[in-house]
Amino acid sequence: MDREADERTACRHLALAGILGIGVAFGFARYGYGLFLPQLREAFGLSLTWVGAIASASYAGYLAALVLVGLFVGRVGPRLPVVVGGLCAAAGMGLVALAREPVALMAGLVLAGTSAGWAWAPYSDAADRMLTPRSGRAVLALHPTGTAFATVVAVGTLVARPPRLGPRPQRTGSGHESGIRP
């Protein structure tokens, strides 16, 4: 009986971790660029060339992370790549939030975009290590729903309160705004 209870607990934990992790990595960090593209284009004055370069570089970062995960996960286990993915998502989205120029925006989006590559495959390895094959398949079937949940949250946030993107005005010592465009 204890073994079955342990299996159910492991299933719940890994399912929740995977849904949330994949939701952040794909729904926010990777696909957020497309959701907020009209606002980003306006705020940063992005040409179609910049839009394509950013999307291409983000995809290349995702692919590079997938290759690196394939090389390292067998040696370090699934936890470290998932943590690296979460850190890349957080740091990349932080860079996007602070970006004042297209190059900084691109760097943040590429870094955030790698998070999906770091996180996806290691969850499969974790399921193989922690769960029976039947339970593992059931848990892995739930992970992609994280992307849908995160996308719904992002769209809901966008509709409820459209973000103010781009460079923020700087306050001078006298309390006046500098000439940096809002």
Extents of the domains making up the chain? 2-160
Residues of the chain with pLDDT under 70: 1, 158, 161-182
| Tokens 């974790």, residue located | 126
Specify whether the CB–CB gap between 89 and 25 falls below 8 A. Answer: yes
pLDDT the model gives residue 177 = 45
CATH number among 3.30.1330.10, 3.90.1170.50, 3.30.720.200, 1.20.1250.20, domain 2-160: 1.20.1250.20
pLDDT the model gives residue 172 = 47
pLDDT the model gives residue 83 = 93
pLDDT the model gives residue 163 = 59
Q: For the residues of 144-180, what is the DSSP string, one character each?
A: THHHHHHHHHHHHHHHHS----SPPPPB-TTS-B-S-
Per-residue pLDDT tens digits for 75-128: 999 999 999 999 999 999 999 999 999 999 999 999 999 999 999 888 888 888
pLDDT the model gives residue 165 = 57
